[in-house]
Amino acid sequence: MEIGDWRKKIDELDEQIVRLINQRAEAAHEIGVLKQASNLPVYEPQREQQVFDHVCRNNPGPLADAELLHVYERIIDVMRTLQRRDHES
């Protein structure tokens, strides 16, 4: 396979990743709504640690856990912003 073929594969993977991250955002939004109804805080460090642990346990490589967590810190950050936006609206 040449560079162009691998890039086509990356584009296909990105389409799936984008869809799944948005499904994750929908679920986070639903949790935000339920938290708001129960007056629970958006930021729950214990749950975030569970997510990071779960991600590392399911990491088949070649990415190192630290590299994957680097991405997931950003995912969690964006989801938290989304829940805060829900709380304010």
**Which residues ranging from 54 to 73 are in contact with a second copy (CB under 8 A)?**
54-55, 58-63, 67-68, 70-71, 73
Q: Does 27 bind a second copy (CB under 8 A)?
A: yes
Query: Which strand (E) or helix (H) includes residue 14?
Result: helix 3-37
Q: Does 36 bind a second copy (CB under 8 A)?
A: no
Region for 2 from its dihedrals, namely left if φ exceeds 0, alpha if ψ lies in -120 to 50, beta otherwise: beta
If one counts every other C-beta atom within 10 angstroms of the C-beta of residue 19, the result is 10
Binding site for a second copy (CB under 8 A): 1-3, 6-7, 9-11, 13-31, 34-35, 47, 51, 54-55, 58-63, 67-68, 70-71, 73-75, 77-78, 81-82
